[in-house]
Structures are given as C-alpha cells and as structure tokens.
Amino acid sequence: MEGVHSTSVKGTGVVAGIAYAPAVWVRPRPELPKAGATVPAGEREAEYERFVAAADLVSERLLARSAHVEGSASEVLKATAGMVADRGWRKAARKAVNSGHPAENATVEATDKFVTMFEAAGGVMAERTTDLKDIRDRVLAELRGEEEPGLPEVDGEAVLFADDLSPADTATLDTDHIVALVTELGGPTSHTAIIARQLNLPCIVAVGSAISSIPAGEKVLIDGAMGTITMDTDPEASAERVRESRERAAVVAQWRGPAQTRDGHRVQLLANVAAGNAARVAAEGQAEGIGLYRTEMSFLSASEEPSVDEQARIYRKVFDAFPDSKVVIRTLDAGSDKPIAYATMTVEENPALGVRGLRIANSNEPLLTRQLDAIAQAAEGRGEGATTWVMAPMVATAREAKWFAGLCRERGLIAGAMIEVPAAALMADKLMPHLDFVSIGTNDLTQYTMAADRLSPQLAYLTDPWQPAVLRLIRHTCLIGHDTQTPVGVCGEAAADPMLACVLTGLGVDSLSAASTALPGVGAQLADVDLETCKKAAELALESVGAAAAREAVRELLQG
C-alpha cells in the first residue's frame, strides 16, 4: 500500500478506520499580550466592561453552537460556555484590571491562575486546562477583533491536524468534510479521542513533534488502528483502502449482539460507564449489561462524602438502565489521576504508586463500607435476571482480596477484584479462591507493567496493551481463572480494540467491557473469526517481540 517513496509518521491510534484526504490545520492561537501597559485608574471600569462584553460574546457564540449539535457535543459546548461565565474567573480578571492591566493581560492572568490550580490538582482536572486556554484564546481574539481561533472552513474532504483540539473545536466538527483527526498531544482519554469515538472518525493522537513535517494541503493516508499517517501513497490503492474501510463500517453498524465467534463461542460484551446517562445510552445499543461502572467519576468535584442514601440514589440511576442484567460496579478508585477531596491524601510524591483505589480503605474502612451499604441499598429489588457484581480497584494481594470479599458478602454482594497491578496477576492463584470474579484493567496493568505513566504522550508506545508483557500477565490470569472457575473479564481500553478482542478471546477472557460505541466493532470482528483463529492470534501476539510486531502479526492473520 505504501509506495517506495512514502513516508510515515506514527502516533497512538484511538479510533480505527482509514481516511485519505488533504491535511488542514486548525487556525493558530492568538499571540499572548506582552506585559507592561497600564490602564489609567479612570478608565479601568470601562476596560473591565470591554472584557465582559468580549467574554459574553464568546459565551453566547458557544451556546448558540451548542443548540445546533446533539449529545455530548452539545454538553461540551455548554460546559465551555459555562466556564466563560464563571464568576471566579471573571473576578480574577476584574482584580487584574483594577490593578491597571489591560483586558487582554487580565484575561491571561485570570486564566493562568486557574490553569495553575487545575494542574496542581492533577489527573482529570489537569486535562481540563486545554478548555481554559481555549476560552482565553477566544476572548483574546474577540478583544482584538480577530477571527476566532480554531477550525478552518473546508471544501471537500480533509484530515484535520492540530496540536490539541479544544472541546469546543471537537464538538462542532464539520463531519461532512472532516474525515479523520490527528493531534500532536492528547491521549486515549482526551476530548479529541472521546468525540472522535462518538463520531466514529478515524483518530490518531500523541503524534509528537513529527506532526509538523506534514504541510497543509498534503494528501495523507490515515490508518486509525495502526496509528499511522502516510504521505506519498499510491492514490488508487489508498482510495481502495478507504472504500474497504467504509464497507466495514457499514457491516459494523448493522451488527447486533449477543456476541459470539463464527463457531458459536460466546463472549459477553458489556459497557463502561461513569453515570446514569451513559448507562441509558448503552442500554439502547448492543451492551448486555455494565462491565465497569466507575463510581468515582460522580464525586470528582464533591468536597464532602455524599450520604449513603444520596450515593444509593446515584448508583440506582445506572442499575435502572439495566434492570434485568448484570452490572459490575467498582468501588471508589480515588487517587492518582482522579483525586477526590474527601477521600484522597493531599500530597504524595508518586500518586500513581500511592494510596489510591482500595488502599484508601486501609486507613478509612468506613468510607468503603458506607459505599458498599449504598450499593447494597441501590441494588435492592433489582429485576429477576439482574446480578450486582462489586469489584475493588488496585487490589495487589490475596489478603486485600479476602478482606474486600468478606465486606461484600456481609452485604449479600458478589465480590470481585480488578487485576491491574502486576502482582495481582502473578498471584492470581492465591487471590481467586477468595473471589467470585475478576476483571482485568488493562489501562493500569499496562502502566504498571511497563513502568510508564498512562497519561504521558511521550510514552504512548509503552502504554500500549498490545505489549506482549501485558498479554502474558493476562494469559496467566485466564489460566488460573479457568482452573478455579473464576470468570475473567477485561474492562480497560484494550477491550475496545476489535483485533485485540480476538487475542483476548483466544487467551480465554469471558467478557469484554468498553465504551458502548466500541462494542459493535468488537462484535462484528468476533463474528468473523472462529475460536481456533483467536487462539492462534493470541499465540502470535504472546510470542511477538513488541507491541507493534504483535499488532502487525495479528493484523496479517485476521486480514490476510
């Protein structure tokens, strides 16, 4: 496919699919104002009003755009508009103007203050700094009478390139023309990736500085599964690959569960959710139930622990979306990239290796038991076929597994553990006798196996669940699961990758849980292969020298 002279740049593929079109770049961000100018005292009130007028206009524009799009795109725009209206941010700007700074400088100063705060909080909050800088740039452009930064108008098809896409940009993408997204920064959980998944646009993130070698107007072939951007490819062969990929997308859209391989081997497909609305969306799709309900996501901005009743009310929203099905609910995975004010320690040298997940309960067992009480309360009276499975994150030892399972069983709950610490995988024979099920969290299992921060764009080549080292830990877990008759699921991003789903099935995984939009792609791929081929794919991947080789070997086996 790639010609002799073709050149490729590689990033992390987050949404599969092929596209072939010229590159367009988002309009550059405005230059930040220089320090120095002072507004005379008598003009400061008017200067602040100038800031307010610009901010109001930006907010109104975002809201108007939110009315023209649907779903999470509209929510993102509303949330961004809400940030422009934020009283704290405006107050900080007023303070800066009152001390003599022009509106442009005050905009930057107020934003910097919040960026520093968000960065200090880390994790999910730190990812939101892109939103803040986006607002700053829009207001700056408005103050100067410049065009709003962001998306260019495009005629015909185009692949959109950017350093990082702001939520407002991704939310209003013109999908009649934009056929793929590529960013220098970002990661599998960035806004770009989330929206691309929702729109089903091939998407590659974390390309790094090599992205600048791709000029606007250059025709590029994008492979969202492999994460490659290739220039100088043969136009006809490239167009053929796009046709094949679109045919595949049509097959995927038609796919209906329950999932099984061509020869009838069942694999349960479940959805990952963070709240009731996502669970309701999942229930309308092909999910057979919920495989991971990340409860901590509901409490990221809570300053106090919600009461048992209040928690139960929140959890019930998810249970109600699947009244007669299996729901796997995870106890608080606070800490590290998901700090929760009332649960986590404030300062730790290495939060990813610190007191996170189940470890918080070592010094605060009542926090865990109150959550289990709330889960038991929310699960009361669920339908006939419903099962409520509860699992703990970051379990590392058999002792922790036994302790957690005991607390669950006291409340009549089915007890499990996530396998996301390599020690838990290696000691699976000692953990599993205490548990009713396990679920492999490949995101953290990969991070800890490869000793590479899952949020680092520079290390995306290491934090790749195709790493054979990770797959070997999964194989071991499945073997022990089989011996002890303990169901083994996978609920990390690996479960969303159709080719990797074949490998996981071949390794003996019973259920796969991923974003509900990813499930038809996985189900359609499994329907195309038999169990023997999955086992062969697993062998090839396990014996590969690295992640790229594993992916390539399996691609060759499955696609010929």
Which residues belong to the active site?
191, 491
Pairing, β 178-183 against β 219-223: unpaired
Tokens of 206: 């974390």
Residue 535 CA to residue 336 CA, distance in Å, equals 36
Residue 114 CA to residue 95 CA, distance in Å, equals 14
* Per-residue mark of binding to Mg ion, 440-459 (x: CB under 5 A): -x--x---------------
CB of 393 to ligand PEP, least distance (A): 6
User: Quick one: 108 or 495, whose CB is closer to ligand PEP?
Assistant: 495
What letter would DSSP give residue 150?
A: B
- Residue 255 sits at the vertex; the CA angle it makes with 254 and 258, to the nearest 5 degrees, is 150
User: Quick one: 47 or 337, whose CB is closer to Mg ion?
Assistant: 337
For residue 228, count other CB atoms closer than 10 A to its CB: 18
294 binds, among ligand PEP, Mg ion, none (CB under 5 to 8 A by kind): ligand PEP
For residue 130, count other CB atoms closer than 10 A to its CB: 21
CB of 494 to ligand PEP, least distance (A): 8
442 binds, among Mg ion, ligand PEP, none (CB under 5 to 8 A by kind): ligand PEP
Biggest CA–CA distance in the chain, Å, is 80
According to CB under 6 A, which one of 134, 288, 400, 420 is a site residue for ligand PEP?
Answer: 420
510 binds, among ligand PEP, Mg ion, none (CB under 5 to 8 A by kind): none
What phi and psi, each to the nearest 5 degrees, are found at residue 187? -155, -175
59 binds, among Mg ion, ligand PEP, none (CB under 5 to 8 A by kind): none
- Residue 514 vs residues 497, 508, 522: alpha-carbon distances, Å: 9, 17, 9
Q: Enumerate residues 439-458 that contact ligand PEP by CB under 6 A.
A: 441-444
The footprint of Mg ion on this chain (CB under 5 A) covers a number of residues equal to 3
Determine if 493 is a binding residue for Mg ion (CB under 5 A).
Answer: no
Distance between alpha carbon 365 and the CA centroid of its chain, in Å?
A: 29
| Segment interacting with Mg ion (CB under 5 A) among 282-290, 303-311, 427-435, 439-447 | 439-447
344 binds, among Mg ion, ligand PEP, none (CB under 5 to 8 A by kind): none
Rounded to 10°, the helix 71-84/129-144 angle is 60
CB of 441 to Mg ion, least distance (A): 4
Residue 33 CA to residue 248 CA, distance in Å, equals 49
User: Quick one: 512 or 553, whose CB is closer to ligand PEP?
Assistant: 512
What phi and psi, each to the nearest 5 degrees, are found at residue 181? -125, 140
Nearest residue to Mg ion, scored by beta-carbon proximity: 444
For residue 409, count other CB atoms closer than 10 A to its CB: 14
According to CB under 6 A, which one of 137, 164, 305, 333 is a site residue for ligand PEP?
Answer: 333
Q: Enumerate residues 475-494 that contact ligand PEP by CB under 6 A.
A: 491-492
Contact 202, 15 (CB under 8 A): yes
User: Quick one: 166 or 446, whose CB is closer to ligand PEP?
Assistant: 446
CB of 447 to Mg ion, least distance (A): 8
Do you find a cis peptide bond into 258, omega within 30 degrees of 0? yes
Residue 295 CA to residue 305 CA, distance in Å, equals 13
Q: Enumerate residues 282-321 that contact ligand PEP by CB under 6 A.
A: 292, 294
CB of 129 to ligand PEP, least distance (A): 20
CB of 334 to ligand PEP, least distance (A): 11
| Segment interacting with Mg ion (CB under 5 A) among 10-18, 86-94, 374-382, 413-421 | 413-421
The footprint of ligand PEP on this chain (CB under 6 A) covers a number of residues equal to 10
Tokens of 539: 């062998």
Residue 263 CA to residue 528 CA, distance in Å, equals 9
Q: Which residues in 287-313 are b (16+ Cβ under 10 Å) and which e?
A: bbbbbbbbbbebbbeeeebbebeebbe
Supply the Cα-derived Rg of the chain in whole angstroms: 24
CB of 444 to Mg ion, least distance (A): 4
| Segment interacting with ligand PEP (CB under 6 A) among 250-258, 348-356, 436-444, 517-525 | 436-444
User: Quick one: 158 or 343, whose CB is closer to Mg ion?
Assistant: 343
| Segment interacting with ligand PEP (CB under 6 A) among 67-75, 145-153, 198-206, 435-443 | 435-443
- Contact residues toward ligand PEP (CB under 6 A) are 292, 294, 333, 420, 441-444, 491-492
Enumerate binding residues for Mg ion (CB under 5 A). Answer: 420, 441, 444
